[in-house]
Structure 1
Amino acid sequence: MHWDDLRIFLAVAREGSISGGANRLKVQHSTVSRRVKSLQAQLGTTLFERKKSGFELTQAGEELRDSAQRIEREVIGLEGALSNQDNFAGGELTVTAINNMASTILLPVFARFSMEQPETRLHIHVSNKYVSLAERQADVAIRLTNTPPETLVGTRLTTVTSAVYGSCNYLRSLAKGSKPRWLGIECCEYHRSWTSEACPDHDHNFYIDDTLLTLAALKQDLGLAYLPCFMGDGEESLQRYRPPDAAHDLGLWLLYHADLKQNKRVQLFRAHMIREIGNLRALFEGEQSVIP
């Protein structure tokens, strides 16, 4: 029995589908399907039952999952111990970051790290969903939170403020007495709850599940929405409808597993991010005087 087969089996068990497992591992759907069938044939038993809700483990599948998870912990522990002794800049470094930052304000920061450390092969993984550092889905995570997991090593890089924005045209219509219209925001729990508080009647006729789409919708005069100040303040066509509220401040954290505390690539990246984000602090904290 090969570890790669067990790794694929665990991914399908955790995601509840072949496609989910393939996405989790970033491999082809056909590869995952073939390897699962091969593993079942090798063991002479059925590991999954297909149901409307997805793939469910059989009793044999549950037993294999428990054993595979124990093996996984051993493999990850060994990899972590070896990675912690890695004192070379050369090699792979996978960083996960949320989309609205990775594609805007952080991209030049990542690019400068890549130019400064050409021996490091930097992989940027964009995801607004939970990414397991313990399972080595990424080496470093850049996340917005005020409660970072205690199981990870963390560095708070800065505070990210948010405000309510609308287009200049739309805000002029409000000045004439129009009723405020709020976009239905579903990109994250933070913006969803803030919008629900600001618009308790939930009278939305336009819903969006991505912050970059929120920005685009505001520029189309579709209403009001919360945006991080580093996105909203830089847009000439937008203005603040409400100023930042300290209750909505979020910490921007750089997180990694304790096994990587001494890893050279992780420490080089950490030092780079602390320096670069320090230079961008005013943008993240919503000090409008720094915006041209």
Structure 2
Amino acid sequence: MDWDKLRIFHAVSDAGSLTHAGDKLNLSQSAVSRQIRALEESLNTTLFHRHARGLILTEQGELLFDATRSISKRLEAAAARIRDSEEEVFGELRVTTTFGFGTLWLVPRLPKLYEKYPNLKIDLMLEERVLDLPMREADVAIRMKEPSQADLIRKRLMTIQMLLYATKSYLKEHGTPTELEDIANHRLICQNTTSAQVAAGASLVQHLMAYNPHSTLTVNNYFGVLQGVLNNLGIGVLPDYLTEDFPDLVRILPQIESADVPVFLAYPEELRQSQRISAFRDFVQEEVIAHRKQIRNQTKS
């Protein structure tokens, strides 16, 4: 099968238009159309339905696009490995993690990484959906559970818990609860149990709701929960990795905590030699060690 025709087919499938694909490939629309017709003739099938609004893949076209997409991602991985220098760290690194961990723990620490590697380009993808690393949807992931996908190198970074926090100002005005039943006199700020989150957090919220909080504020991510707590709206269910960066938070009801949540860093086996991956992995591990040390010092004081 002609690789050049497949490359053009992939671009057309991705763009949904001969014109847009031609612009991307620096080819005329007629040249792109000829290549697609030639590919269809060689396969003796129709790959696209032609409509006024553009092109739609046929069932056979979908099968071929799945194959070219897989090939494209493998080629991207190979190119990434080739670009990696033995002595330098540069180029794009696609990192995925949850919205809460990314905004509240990772991003505030990235200046240290950029200071060390100023030519690194990080594309940070924050979402609860687990991206497919072997299919190159991302280069490296930090996940709140052990990855189940095959062909991944994984490293356990830390264990976190969801705890109850409020500000000193809020507690001064509304009092500090000493028993779980006291939650009935306060506003609870938390993620809705139907929103995407770790199961341990949802279970803790369900448990707290059984004690009938006076009022509630539910948000679909921990960044919003944190903002509610910092603005003295109530008592929040938040991950314990926040305590280092937000010293005004006071843990309350220390007997209440979620189950342990393991945090893993993972990346494809084929990127084992990537200098960018190694630099990011070492940076995160160093920050985790510093985080643990800071927490221990806070506990002692």
TM over 0.5: yes
Aligned residues: 256
| Corresponding residue of 1:138 | 138
| Corresponding residue of 1:22 | none
SS in 2 for 1:4: helix
Deviation at residue 209 of structure 1 after TM alignment = 0.9
Give the 3 Å change call, closer, same or farther, for CA 273–221 of structure 1 in structure 2. closer
Deviation at residue 244 of structure 1 after TM alignment = 7.1
Q: For 1:83, give the aligned amino acid.
A: A
Q: Is the 8 A contact 1:157 1:278 kept in 2?
A: no
1:75-105, Cα deviation, whole Å (9 max, x unpaired): 2223323433444123221222333333343
2: CA distance, partners of 1:70 / 1:94: 22
Give the 3 Å change call, closer, same or farther, for CA 113–209 of structure 1 in structure 2. same
CA RMSD of aligned residues (A): 3.8
Deviation at residue 110 of structure 1 after TM alignment = 1.9
Q: Is the 8 A contact 1:95 1:123 kept in 2?
A: yes
1:212 aligns with one of 205, 214, 223: 223
| Corresponding residue of 2:191 | 185
Give the 3 Å change call, closer, same or farther, for CA 282–94 of structure 1 in structure 2. same
TM-score, normalised relative to structure 1: 0.70
The reply on whether 1:194 has 2:204 as its aligned counterpart is: yes
User: Where in structure 2 are there 5+ consecutive unaligned residues?
Assistant: 1-7, 38-46
1:170-216, Cα deviation, whole Å (9 max, x unpaired): 46064696634433513533233320122237766422112111112
| Corresponding residue of 2:80 | 83
The sequence identity of aligned pairs, in percent, is 19
Give the 3 Å change call, closer, same or farther, for CA 45–291 of structure 1 in structure 2. farther
The higher radius of gyration belongs to 2
2: CA distance, partners of 1:289 / 1:224: 21
TM-score, normalised relative to structure 2: 0.69
User: Where in structure 1 are there 5+ consecutive unaligned residues?
Assistant: 10-30, 48-57
Give the 3 Å change call, closer, same or farther, for CA 291–74 of structure 1 in structure 2. farther
2: CA distance, partners of 1:85 / 1:272: 22
| Corresponding residue of 2:287 | 276
Give the 3 Å change call, closer, same or farther, for CA 229–128 of structure 1 in structure 2. same
1: CA distance, partners of 2:70 / 2:119: 29
Give the 3 Å change call, closer, same or farther, for CA 173–289 of structure 1 in structure 2. closer
The reply on whether 1:153 has 2:153 as its aligned counterpart is: yes
Q: Is the 8 A contact 1:114 1:122 kept in 2?
A: no
1: CA distance, partners of 2:10 / 2:83: 23
1:69 aligns with one of 59, 66, 81: 66
Give the 3 Å change call, closer, same or farther, for CA 222–258 of structure 1 in structure 2. same
